[in-house]
Structure 1
Amino acid sequence: MILSANKNNAIAYYKTAFEGNPRQAVADYVGEEYIQHNPIVAGGKSGFIEYFERMQAEYPNKSIEFKRCIIEDDLVALHTHQVWHNADQTVDEYVTMDFFRFDELGKIVEHWDSIQLIPKISANSNKMY
């Protein structure tokens, strides 16, 4: 039951922040502490909020699709496909992997991620997600 709740909460957290409401995401899903491992996002809850508010202002038409969710103990991993519409009318697509650690209350307390631009040309026909 807890694993299923953590899965649902990780997806809801990321989706809420990605779609433009990081303050609500933090209020609903983050624990007392928040350890950030992404080097371009400042630490703590405020760093997360600032990053996602800036992302929303710069890329209001971005989209996310959750491809996979893997759960183990207090960790949830999300594999996503993201599409970002740039100011110059070009589109960038990314594959991301995010890892969240939950506390005993079911709140997110730590985050790691990796993001990669999907190349326009691939040496194989397999998708990255």
Structure 2
Amino acid sequence: MEFTPKRDIAKQFVNLVFEGAIEKAFANYTAPEFIHHTVECKKGKTALIAYLKECSLEKEKIKHQFLRLIEQNDLVMAHIRICNTVSKEEYVAVFIFRFKEHLINEYWEVKQNLPKTLLNEDGVF
């Protein structure tokens, strides 16, 4: 069996979700006892899948770019730039995945909308 780094599994999962292949992402990469901490949605894998499907209805307008993928022990952190190509709204997201036996077992997300004008010249990226 070929070894796949957890950061590559997390990246594949995120890419599938942004492509709208949400059920495939969850079927291939999450553990049966998967839990999430997404505040906009109810508890449970089924609720998160439904929430993400609703969010993906306009997937052709949303583009994402991985800025950083960091793997440490059973955790992976993905720092991602997300842009709505129609409204030009942008936000930065940090997704944290905890793995168990190379499957995503737990998930957190932190998002920040970007204001039109940034006071810090260093920016957020």
Work out whether the TM-score is over 0.5: yes
Distance 2:17 2:59 in 1: 13
Structure 1: gaps of 5 or more residues: none
Superposed, 1:37-76 pairs within 5 Å as 37-76=37-76
Provide the rounded CA distance (Å) in 2 between the counterparts of 1:44 and 1:13: 17
Task: Please give the TM-score of this superposition, normalised by the length of structure 1.
Answer: 0.88
Counterpart residue number, 1:117? 113
* TM-score, with length taken from structure 2: 0.91
Contact 1:36 1:42 (8 Å CA) reproduced:
no
Shift of 1:59: 4.6
- Deviation track 1:55-114 (CA, whole Å, cap 9, x = no partner) reads 1114531011000011111000000000124xxx522100000100000x2000101110
1:1-38: per-residue Cα shift (whole Å, max 9, x none)? Answer: 96x62000001001101111110000110001111111
- Moved >4 Å (runs of 4+): none
Pairs aligned (count): 124
Identity across the alignment (%): 28
Segments of 5+ residues of structure 2 without an aligned counterpart are: none
CA RMSD of aligned residues (A): 1.7
SS in 1 for 2:61: coil
Pick one of 75, 98, 102 that aligns with 1:101: 98
Q: Tell me if structure 2 keeps the 8 A contact 1:13–1:29.
A: yes
